[in-house]
Amino acid sequence: MIKALNSLWRWAPLLFCSTAFTTEVIPTESISNIQNALEEVKTACNAKKASCNTASSEVSGNPPCSIIADSGCMKLWNSSNDGFLESSFGLIQVGKSKKSGLSTAQRLDIEAWINSQPNLPKDLLEKIKPILQRLKLLLAYETNTMEWHQQMGTMLQLLKQTVDTVGGERAKAALPELNQTEDASISIEQRNKSLETLLDFQNQLIRAKYENHPNWKRVETAFKQAKNDLIATCQELSIPNSIKKKFLAKLKSIKLSLPFPDPRNISAPSTCTSTEQNAFYFPNANLFTVCAGMFNTFQSEPNLYSVIAHELSHAIDPEVFIQDDYKQSPIGQVIEKLSSSKKPPFSCDEWQQLRDGTLAPIKEIIEPLNPYTKLTDCLAPPLEPLRPFNSKNINPISKRYAATAINQYANANIFSLLVQAKTTNIDKVSDNEFYMRPDRAQALMTGGLINPQKNYLSAIPATFTQSLTCQQAEQDGKKVDFEHATGKIRQDMFEKAIFESREIQQIVYESIFSRCGKECAGLVGEDLSRNAQENFADWMASQALPHYLKREKSLEKRRELLSIATLSHCNENPNAKMIDTDLNEIEKKFSFDRHPDNRIRRLSFFTPEVAKTVGCEIDNEIKRGFGECSF
Amino acid sequence: MQLLIQFFKVFIFVGIVTFHNPQVGFAATQIPIPKSYVLVQIHGKYAIQTTKIFNYKKKWICQTEDLPYFEAKKNPLEEIHWTDLKSEIKNQHSENCRDHVLLQDRRTKPFKMVTGCLSSAEIKKTIEEINKLCGRF
């Protein structure tokens, strides 16, 4: 313990060769860490009943790992740096401009606009050139006055409006029919085409700003390194070969994408293209992105490396891995076929066979065995013993979820819309373009795009249409289908088709739950599972990290690199300083939030292998994290 | 002659800079600090996005971590339909949630508050509209 304290004072300033321990600016979490270390020393001294000499000159050995874990954040957020940090591994600029209070993320995004001019489409450039010139001047003459901010705000609004106007013109040009006909007579396919033109235009702008930007190029470099290291890590894992093979195939096929807000691609939120400090993995497309706010402010490869290694790990996290298995299963394939069809894809005989087989209710749900259990039990132990995983507990939940899904379509009158051959607009009767067209009806629920991505989890309009097409009943001594049925018989058929859709959706949920078991994110609130997805991604990233660290020869540099790699897990929120971090950590266990407490995330990077690589001692603080878990 | 040309060059340059310098003619008014406001927070994976919305001299002002003062073109609070949001959250399974949203009206006592998931339709729509009006483009 004496050694721990001595090392604390001895090593911490060395990490960045600066005044990292200016007490008035140390975040509460770090103060509590130091207090804990002091407490440990006091207890040890009392136990030994000996005097404790804390002179650092007499101490040799390794510093406690928690000191390295906290040192970067303390340095980044001390009063002199205030969110800006320059090291041999790059620049971090998560703070605000002292002159205007503008965030660096915002400033860098505006600069990217200004620098993108040679790559912008001519029609847009013509209109926004004066705005960009004005923005450039505003950045050159920053002040913290209301007037400056008014001008900045006006210019940003004008830029957004002009981009929207040009995008709108492009979308309109893709629909020459629009000028000749009334808006209401434009078909959903035409609208889809217009929407796709608009999305293509938005993607073009993101490419113009960032495709060749040095900050994005850094992401590409870090991606290659993180991907190779994760592949190497996977090969070292003690897991069955069959699973290892799947892990490797999945990791090898994952792709990086610019942050396009495009549902056909990665569907990033629009703020991800400008200032949002985040990163996302999209399981449907096996793609991931890093938002502009993150790669602009973290111009440091080790930081991007750890963020990217985390995102890549989601490709094989417990839920995604098990969902991949579901997607390949007969039921996943049937749902995908239904959801991508323009009309019922199965003959009525085939449908009946499916209802008796693949789409039949699951007789008994039992807890599945999966390769993650030992690891995830360690990564995310449940607060209380989980309820038994069986049909009795899973059936009602699946039914409730299916009812909620059907409710969304019923609220939007999708089922009625699908069965009406004609539609009335004021006094004009015309063909209903949604009549028995589940793909078009689904597009109404997803912003107008027709089948932007494959869907394995839900095909409600298609299931309904398939079910209705295959129904027959006796009316006036004759067998009739829905089209020829009338009155009560017709109503019963309609209702039965909605019921059948709900039943199939319930079977889909049961099929997924019976695969993911205790790893199902959707069952966390039901005391049937715990969510280990985020901890797993952090854990995998920490397993890959030694590969990266070992490329650095000097021990000092490795330590600096590691503390920088974990800087995205600093708690810069000023409100958080008012929160007791020990209690916050306990409180987080009761939250459904998938991401654990920031400090725990930082501490968890210190696996035994990482500690060995950077020559630090795993202390009690580090043991609060999950770095020591294993498969 | 050369000196005269140089003088005019400098004069023209200074003239252009002065003309374009956004500071010229500004009375330096400090940006306001709100006492009561509506708070919109998104708890993401790596950072928290915070927007404070308040009324100042009959204008609707948004304060974000990116822009400390942004005049909204119209009242962003019109986009928050508290009752609809509350009823949606009632029917939602928020445990399967990536980004958590907190909406809190700190102008009322007790605070009016809604928490939910960014992926749920009504919350997503609300946040998108607020973002648009508050300069998060």
pLDDT for B26-45, tens place per residue?
Answer: 557 888 888 899 999 998 88
| In contact, A454 and A282? CB cutoff 8 Å | no
Model ipTM? 0.80
On the question of pLDDT at A268 being above 50, the answer is yes
Question: What whole-number distance in Å separates Cα of residue B137 and Cα of residue A62?
Answer: 48
On the question of pLDDT at A416 being above 80, the answer is yes
Question: What whole-number distance in Å separates Cα of residue B54 and Cα of residue B68?
Answer: 12
Residue A180: what pLDDT?
62
Residue A506: what pLDDT?
97
Higher pLDDT, A453 or B18: A453
Residue A24: what pLDDT?
32
| Interchain CB contact of A534 with B (< 8 Å) | yes
Residue A230: what pLDDT?
98
Q: Is A358 exposed, middle or buried (0-12, 13-18, 19+ CB in 10 A)?
A: middle
Average pLDDT of the segment spanning A452-475: 95
Instruction: Return phi, psi of residue A500, to 5°.
Output: -65, -40
Comparing A185-194, A222-231, A350-359, A546-555, which segment has the lowest mean pLDDT?
Answer: A185-194
On the question of pLDDT at A587 being above 70, the answer is no
Average pLDDT of chain B, as a whole number: 80
- Token pair belonging to A604: 């968890």
Hey, is B93 helix, strand or coil?
coil
Question: What whole-number distance in Å separates Cα of residue A457 and Cα of residue A455?
Answer: 6
pLDDT tens digits for B42-63?
988 888 899 999 999 999 999 9
Where does the pLDDT of residue B14 fall: very low under 50, low under 70, confident under 90, or very high at 90 and above?
A: very low
Q: Pairing state of beta strands A255-256 and A287-290?
A: parallel
Where does the pLDDT of residue A55 fall: very low under 50, low under 70, confident under 90, or very high at 90 and above?
A: very low
On the question of pLDDT at A154 being above 80, the answer is yes
**Which of A100, A150, A522 is the closest to B96 by Cβ?**
A522
**Which chain A residues are closer than 8 Å to B67 by Cβ?**
102-103, 106, 149, 152-153, 156
Higher pLDDT, B81 or A131: A131
Q: How many residues does chain A have?
A: 631
Question: What whole-number distance in Å separates Cα of residue A54 and Cα of residue A13?
Answer: 16
Where does the pLDDT of residue B134 fall: very low under 50, low under 70, confident under 90, or very high at 90 and above?
A: very high
Comparing A348-352, A471-475, A598-602, which segment has the lowest mean pLDDT?
Answer: A598-602
| Interchain CB contact of A532 with B (< 8 Å) | no
Q: Determine, for residues B47 and A278 on separate chains, whether the beta-carbon distance falls below 8 Å.
A: yes
| In contact, A445 and A412? CB cutoff 8 Å | yes
Residue A52: what pLDDT?
35
Q: Identify the DSSP state of B101.
A: E
In percent, the amount of chain A with pLDDT more than 70 equals 85
Instruction: Return phi, psi of residue A424, to 5°.
Output: -115, 130
Residue A42: what pLDDT?
43
Average pLDDT of the segment spanning A434-448: 93
Question: What whole-number distance in Å separates Cα of residue A149 and Cα of residue B113?
Answer: 30
Closest Cα in chain B, distance from residue A526 (Å): 9
Residue A1: what pLDDT?
42
Residue A177: what pLDDT?
72
Residue A620: what pLDDT?
93
**Which of B22, B43, B95 is the closest to A148 by Cβ?**
B22
Residue A325: what pLDDT?
92
Q: What is the pTM of this model?
A: 0.85
On the question of pLDDT at A294 being above 50, the answer is yes
**Which of A275, A277, A592 is the closest to B46 by Cβ?**
A277
Q: Provide residues of B within 8 Å CB-CB of chain A.
A: 20-23, 26-32, 43-49, 65-71, 73, 91, 93-98, 100, 128, 131-132, 135-137
Average pLDDT of the segment spanning B78-85: 88
Average pLDDT of the segment spanning A422-448: 89
- H helices of A298-428, in order, are 301-313, 318-328, 330-339, 348-356, 373-379, 391-411, 414-419
pLDDT tens digits for A237-257?
999 999 999 999 999 999 999
**Which of B27, B96, B136 is the closest to A275 by Cβ?**
B136
Closest Cα in chain B, distance from residue A520 (Å): 9
On the question of pLDDT at A64 being above 60, the answer is yes
Residue B83: what pLDDT?
85
In percent, the amount of chain B with pLDDT more than 90 equals 39
Residue A581: what pLDDT?
59
Q: Determine, for residues B95 and A141 on separate chains, whether the beta-carbon distance falls below 8 Å.
A: no
Where does the pLDDT of residue A200 fall: very low under 50, low under 70, confident under 90, or very high at 90 and above?
A: very high
Where does the pLDDT of residue A522 fall: very low under 50, low under 70, confident under 90, or very high at 90 and above?
A: confident
Give chain B's largest Cα–Cα span: 82
Q: Which amino acid is at A101?
A: G
Comparing A88-92, A266-270, B116-120, which segment has the lowest mean pLDDT?
Answer: B116-120
Residue B91: what pLDDT?
58
Q: Which residues is B54 bridged to in the sheet?
A: B61
Question: What whole-number distance in Å separates Cα of residue A618 and Cα of residue A607?
Answer: 8
On the question of pLDDT at A102 being above 60, the answer is yes
Q: Determine, for residues B73 and A157 on separate chains, whether the beta-carbon distance falls below 8 Å.
A: yes
Q: Which residues is B104 bridged to in the sheet?
A: B39, B113
HSE-CB at A367 with a 13 A cutoff on CA atoms is: 11
Question: What whole-number distance in Å separates Cα of residue A209 and Cα of residue A211?
Answer: 6
Q: Determine, for residues B49 and A276 on separate chains, whether the beta-carbon distance falls below 8 Å.
A: yes
- H helices of A414-525, in order, are 414-419, 438-445, 460-469, 487-516
pLDDT tens digits for B63-76?
999 999 999 999 99
Q: Identify the DSSP state of A387.
A: P
Q: Is A437 exposed, middle or buried (0-12, 13-18, 19+ CB in 10 A)?
A: buried
Comparing A178-192, A227-241, A560-574, A609-623, which segment has the lowest mean pLDDT?
Answer: A178-192
Average pLDDT of the segment spanning A311-340: 95
Question: What whole-number distance in Å separates Cα of residue A525 and Cα of residue A126?
Answer: 54
Residue A584: what pLDDT?
63
Residue A4: what pLDDT?
44
| In contact, A560 and A553? CB cutoff 8 Å | no
On the question of pLDDT at A593 being above 70, the answer is no
Where does the pLDDT of residue A9 fall: very low under 50, low under 70, confident under 90, or very high at 90 and above?
A: very low
